[in-house]
A = this chain, B = another copy of it.
Amino acid sequence: MMDGVPPVLDREALSRAPPHAVREAIRERRWTGNTKRLALGFHQANVTIVPERHAFDFMRFCQRNPRSLPLLDVTDPGDPSPPIAAPGADLRTDIPAFCIYRNGVLAERVTDLSAVWRSDHVAFLTGCNLSMDQVLIEAGIAFPHLVREDAFPAQYRSSLAARAAGVFQGPVVLSYRPVPEAQLLRVIELTSRFPLCHGGPVHIGDPSRVGITDLAAIDWGRRPDPAPGTVPCFWACGITAQAAAEASGIPEMITHAPGHMFVTDLPVSDRSFG
């Protein structure tokens, strides 16, 4: 390696790195991509930032919709460091990319929040299905998004309504994975054990039963290409927060960019963090 030139990182190396090393690589822009499979075994988190005046409403929204938004940590107003999930980390710089919603519309995508962060900002960290990766890999479950670099689950606004709280309401967003029939019960069992990673599926089978009439008409993620012999499975998804920003039209909500999560110090194997 040449002086002053940071080493090129690959996903495989970062998958075995500890969480703080992944965050450092992101902070120093040595890693700018999505975070799938990084720091395997540790919770990756959806991040949702709202002004303090909406924070209690949003926290109740998470509490009432724990399948979509299982709470891992909440910051104090103005403090960009999550006290439980990664003390000392900085949410403004330790995430590869952010989406800024204004009045319910995706207005901007940025890679650093330092210039945007205010003393009334509160950040919520909620569990993510990507955190299940290690468990699924070890169980021999080969979801396309785990084995193909360019693959990513598709996500859809469903016909299920999230439980409202204050200004927040909207549809439950579901992520879709086609599961081989022979692995279906095993996948339901494994994912059900991890409520902080959205738990088990909320629907299997006919997508139209949850309001999804065309799997090709994705709302987020990548257009799926389901193999024959697979069963459509749908999990509650953290993008339910972005859908609430859109449906509620609140003046400001900042989130991680889809797939570009905050990597926490919380082990997936530990089910509670008291």
Chain A contacts to B: CB under 8 angstroms: 52, 55-56, 59-60, 63-68, 71, 73-74, 76, 83-84, 163, 165-166, 195, 199, 236, 271-274
Given that A63-B71, A64-B83, A64-B84 are contacting pairs, would A76 and B274 also be in contact in the complex, using a CB cutoff of 8 Å? no
Known A-B contacts: A55-B56, A63-B74. Give 13 more (CB < 8 A): A56-B56, A56-B59, A59-B59, A59-B63, A59-B74, A60-B76, A63-B73, A66-B273, A66-B274, A68-B274, A76-B166, A195-B272, A199-B274
A–B Cβ pairs within 8 angstroms, 10 of them: A56-B56, A59-B59, A59-B74, A60-B74, A63-B71, A64-B83, A66-B273, A67-B274, A195-B272, A236-B274
Of B63, B64, B65, B195, the contact of A271 (CB 8 Å cutoff):
B195
CA distance A55 to B59 in the complex (A): 10
By beta carbon, the residue of chain B nearest A54 is B56
How many copies of the polypeptide does the oligomer hold?
A: 2
A66 to B273, CA, bound (A): 7
Instruction: Tell me the minimal C-beta distance from A203 to chain B in angstroms.
Output: 13
B52 touches A56 (CB 8 A): yes
A84: B residues at CB distance < 8 A: 64, 163
Docked pose: A82 CA to B68 CA in angstroms: 20
Would you call A165 and B76 a contact (CB within 8 A)?
Answer: yes
Shortest Cβ distance from residue A56 to the other chain B in the assembled complex, whole angstroms: 4
CA of A65 to CA of B274, assembled, Å: 6
A83: chain B residues within 8 A (beta carbon): 64, 163
9 pairs of A and B residues whose beta carbons are closest in the complex: A67-B274, A56-B56, A66-B274, A195-B272, A59-B59, A60-B74, A55-B56, A63-B74, A63-B71
* Chain B residues within 8 Å of A68, by CB: 274
In chain B, what residue has the closest Cβ to A58?
B56
Please give the distance in Å from A77's CB to the nearest CB on chain B: 8
A272 touches B66 (CB 8 A): yes
Q: Taking CB as reference atom, which chain B residue is nearest A84? A: B64
Most buried by B among A56, A68, A76: A56
